[in-house]
Amino acid sequence: MAYRQFEREIPFHPSDFLGVIKNLTGREMLLNYLDVDQPYSIGDIEHPKKYEGILPMDVKVQTLTTLTLQNPQSLGHLVFQRKKYLDKLEEEFGKFVKSKKILKRRKI
């Protein structure tokens, strides 16, 4: 009995998928979705050592400012543009998944 051999068609290569994840969670990409008030600036962005899925649930964002004797305190806000970031995730992962709703939006 002869069996036909065929290559299984994969809609995407896993390394492409991992590349998208790395890009979406990288510092340069995250900076596009973070706003910080002056006189603060964004320092380091630290990812968790352990992931709970394919994307980190949180990252640590360091903000920096200069305090002086004349200006001993400083107030400001750091804002993550969550909606815009989720839209970007859907756009990027939509290239790999044909379904319109690819991400479950969770309330955090």
- What lies within 8 Å, CB to CB, of 95 at 6+ separation is 12, 20
Q: pTM higher than 0.75 for the full model?
A: no
Residue 93 has what pLDDT?
80
pLDDT, one tens digit per residue, over 22-70 is 888 889 999 999 999 999 999 999 887 777 777 788 889 999 999 999 9
Which residue type occupies 65? T
Tokens describing residue 94: 């939509």
Which residue type occupies 38? Q
- 3-state secondary structure (DSSP) of residue 17: helix
Degrees to nearest 5, angle at CA 39 with 33 and 40: 45
d(CA 28, CA 45): 10
Measured between its terminal Cα atoms, the distance across the chain in Å is: 57
| pLDDT at residue 14 tops 90 | no
d(CA 26, CA 18): 12
